Amino acid sequence: MDLTQSLSQARANTDNLFDIVHPGALYERPIPERHRIIFYLGHLEAFDRNLLGPALDLPAFHAEFDKLFSFGIDPAEGDLPTDQPADWPSVAEVREYNASARAQVDAAIHRAPEQLLHVAIEHRLMHAETFAYMLHHLPLAQKIAPHHSVAPSGAPPQNEMIEIPAGEATLGRPRGDGFGWDNEFEQHLVDVPAFAVGRHKVTNGEYLEFVKAGAPAPHFWSCRNGQWRYCGMFEEIPLPLDWPVYVAQDQAQAYARWKGKSLLTEPQFHRAAYTSAPDFARENVDFRSWDPEPVTASPPNSRGVSQMVGNGWEWTSSLFEPFEGFQPFPFYPGYSANFFDGQHYVLKGGSPRTARCFLRASFRNWFRPAYPYIYATFRLAEN
């Protein structure tokens, strides 16, 4: 598939997400730390126009919206946005801007540099996931559910530790070997001492014991009449004990300490995960479902460890930091550099809503440790 077709497919993916939102909910803010939904309606086309405009010499036609919808927000904990629905333009105005911006880009896209097209496609597919997080936290009555099914569940499996021998981990990617974001370079080797890792991601059933011992419940759980339930994308169901638990990084760290263990580092994840190409057809990735599935639903890799890729991003204990030789994109200097602040942690793997292009070994995700809204889980390690 050529890049213009990939962009068209990515557009269809994000366009369909907005069809899930009840029209009366477009000015809601499901995640307090993020913009209202109306921002994301305009952001994707504004980003493409702002990114490709200089390279394609596109004439300006709505500078105010180009700026208004240019960047999302990542406020510090407790520093929440205070804008009101009336501060935003009407849905009709935003849709008119979107149509004009998309038509303008499409008229000149045959001249677009390949690297910028990759950025436009992957940025949009990132939002296909991050916007799904937002919609997950929109009240059920404000969503229009497409046809979907929820995976069956059962008892959590025994989660034994798997020994990983000492060796080298290959992080990053070499320049000139296909597209990568600036933080993926340069490729380098890291010596990793022997360690042990959980065969499975930590399950809801395992984490429930921690909650019973006094820990706060994960954001995706609710309790009704003394019974724990999971808040899915389109329905609330009894807590599936063999699904991976979705938690914030500080919750994962607390559980690991409670068990006398630790989280994987980024190099350890690579040692345990990237032994061979994953069988994506058997993993819960690439928009296969809206919710998790049991941690036993796909086979283990050659190390004996299951679902290192798919069914939920995995928190690591590694801060998001540049690799040696890091060079920011000149056309997007803040993409990574703005987050090398000692306040964001690396996640690896992928979730049910992660596009296949992000399942490459070099890709790095990152969030603040207390951010509870993402499809992120973890597994235990012993050094």
- Contact by Cβ (8 Å): 213, 204: no
Q: Which residues have a Cβ under 8 Å from the Cβ of 223 and sit 6 or more positions away?
A: 217, 229
Tokens representing residue 241 in the block = 């004990």
Rounded average pLDDT over 105-132: 97
CA atoms within 13 A on the CB side of 344: 18
| CATH C-level class of 161-382 | alpha beta
- Place 361 in a pLDDT band, splitting at 50, 70 and 90: very high
Angle at 286 between CA 243 and CA 40, to 5 degrees: 100
Q: Judging by DSSP bridges, how do beta strands 313-319 and 376-377 pair with one another?
A: parallel
- pLDDT at site 237: 97
Strands (E), the chain: 161-164, 167-171, 188-192, 195-198, 221-224, 227-231, 236-238, 262-263, 313-319, 345-348, 365-367, 376-377, 380-382
DSSP string, 270-328: HHHH-SS---GGGSS-TTS-SS---TTSS-B-TTS-B-SSSSSEEEEEEE--PPTT---
Q: Is 187 exposed, middle or buried (0-12, 13-18, 19+ CB in 10 A)?
A: middle
Give pLDDT tens digits for 75-99. Answer: 777 788 999 999 999 999 999 999 9
- Place 1 in a pLDDT band, splitting at 50, 70 and 90: low
Give pLDDT tens digits for 11-70. Answer: 999 999 999 999 999 999 999 999 999 999 999 999 999 999 999 999 999 999 999 999
Check: pTM over 0.75? Answer yes or no.
yes
340, 373, 346: which is closest to 361 by C-alpha? 346
- Contact by Cβ (8 Å): 26, 35: no
Backbone angles phi, psi at 79, to 5 degrees: -100, 75
DSSP string, 246-259: P--HHHHHHHHHHT
355, 357, 372: which is closest to 14 by C-alpha? 355
Amino acid making up residue 42? G
- Place 278 in a pLDDT band, splitting at 50, 70 and 90: confident
- pLDDT at site 281: 83
Burial 5-42 (b: 16+ CB within 10 A, else e): ebbeebbebbeebbebbeeebbbbbbbebbbbbbbbbb
Percent of the chain with pLDDT over 70: 100
Answer yes or no: is pLDDT of 190 > 90: yes
Angle at 41 between CA 92 and CA 181, to 5 degrees: 150
- pLDDT at site 246: 98
Burial 176-185 (b: 16+ CB within 10 A, else e): eeebbbbbbb
Write the DSSP symbol of residue 228.
E
- pLDDT at site 280: 81
Q: What is the dihedral of CA 176, 181, 186, 190, to 10 degrees?
A: -130
- CA atoms of 136 and 255, how far apart (whole Å): 24
For the chain, the domains span 3-142, 161-382
- pLDDT at site 276: 76
Give pLDDT tens digits for 125-177. Answer: 999 999 999 999 999 999 999 988 898 899 999 999 999 999 999 999 999 88
- CA atoms of 16 and 5, how far apart (whole Å): 17
Percent of the chain with pLDDT over 90: 93
- Contact by Cβ (8 Å): 300, 159: no
The CATH architecture assigned to 3-142 reads Up-down Bundle (1.20)
